Amino acid sequence: MNKGKRTYRIMISGGGTGGHIYPAIAIANAWREKYPDAEILFVGAEGKMEMQKVPEAGYIIEGLPVAGLQRSLSLSNLSFPFKLFKSLRKSKKLVKEFNPEAVVGVGGYASGPLLRVAQAKGIPTLLQEQNSYAGLTNKLLAKKAKVICVAYPGMEKFFPLERIKYTGNPVRKDILQLEGKQEVGLKYFGLETGKKVLLVLGGSLGARTINHGILADMEALEKGGYQILWQCGKFYFREMSAKVKESGLKHIHVLEFIKEMDLAYAVADVVVSRAGALSVSELSLVGKPVVFIPSPNVAEDHQTKNALAYVNENAALLLKDDEAVGKIKETLDGLFAEEGKAEKLSKNILKLAKPDAAEKIVEALEEIIA
C-alpha cells in the first residue's frame, strides 16, 4: 500500500452493545494513530448506545433507522422492511457523499445496510467478528468481504478460510497500561486499602443472574472481607441501588456503568463477569483471576464457548448461569483457599492475550485498500 500523504477515508459500522462499539473505537484509534489526517465516519443504529459512546470518543457518527427482527412474533417486525429500506437509502447517500476507500463492519444489525451498499459499489470491506460463534450480520456479509478478522481459532466453519485473519479482539489502549493506577483507582471509587476488591461486570445493559447472585451473597461477601465494585447495568441500577441501601452494607459500591475501566481493573483482586467477547479479551490482558458466568440467552450459547476456551487452558473458572445464585462466594472462597490457584489463573490468562489486535486489523485494512 502506498501511504504517501493521502488522507484516507474510512467508514466503520455496527454497534448495539459495548461488545461491538469498543472494538470499533479501538480500530479507529489505531488507524488514526498511524494516519493522523484520516477521515473516519461511524454509522450506527438510531437510539442505540453507539450514538452516545462514539461522539464521547471524539468521532462523528450517523444513525440509521434500522432495527433487528424479533425472534418471537412481534408487531415491531411489521416495520422491519420499511426501516431496512430507509436504512439502505440513507446508506447509499452516506457512501456517495463520504466516498470511503474502505468500510469496516464490527457486527450488529447496523452494519448490514452500509456494508451491503459498499460491497455493491465495489468498495473493499473488512469484517471484525468478536465471538467464537459468528453473528448473523457478519455471516451474511462475509461472502463479499475482502477479509474477516477473528478472535478465535476454528472460524472457518462460518467464513471462507482463505480470507480469515486471526487477530484477536481490539481493546481500549488504557487497559494495556494499568501500572501505578491501583491507588488512583481506590481513591476514585471510594474503596479501602487492604481489603480484597471483587469487580462485578454484567455488561453495559446488566446481567440478571449475576446481579441476583451478588444480592444473595453480598452480606456474606462483606463479612468475608470483600468490598465490591459492581457494574449492574442500566436496566437494574435503580433496583440494585435500593436493595444495597436497604441492607445497610458499607462496602458494596453499585454503579450503572463504569467508564474508567482501566481504574476498575487496576483495583480488582478478582473478577466475576459475563463472557462476552470484549470482556474476555480485556480480561486476558488484565491478568486477574476471573470467574465467568456466561449468559445462556445468546446465539448458540457462544458465551459458554468463549469462556471454555479459557477454562480449558486453566486460565479462568466457569460458573453456570443456572447455578450462580447462592454460589458466588463459595466459588471465590474455593479459589483463594487453594494455594497458588489465583496466581496460576492470572499467569495463564495472560498467555492468551493479544495486545496488538487493533494494529493487526489496521494492517489487514491497509492490504485491502488499493
Which segments are annotated as binding site for UDP-N-acetyl-alpha-D-glucosamine?
Answer: 17-19, 131, 172, 204, 258, 277-282, 303
> Residue 170 in contact with residue 150, Cβ under 8 Å?
no
What is the SS3 assignment for 10?
strand
- Residues making up the annotated binding site are 17-19, 131, 172, 204, 258, 277-282, 303
For residue 295 the three cell numbers come to 449468559
CA dihedral sign, ordered 52, 276, 163, 45? negative
Which residue, chain included where needed, has cell 487496576? 266
User: What is d(CA 355, CA 193) in angstroms, rounded to the nearest whole number?
Assistant: 29
What is the SS3 assignment for 198?
strand
DSSP per-residue string spanning 251-306: SEEEES--S-HHHHHHH-SEEEE---HHHHHHHHHHT--EEE---SSSGGGHHHHH
How far out from the chain centre does Cα 34 lie?
Answer: 23
> Residue 275 in contact with residue 306, Cβ under 8 Å?
yes
For residue 20 the three cell numbers come to 461491538
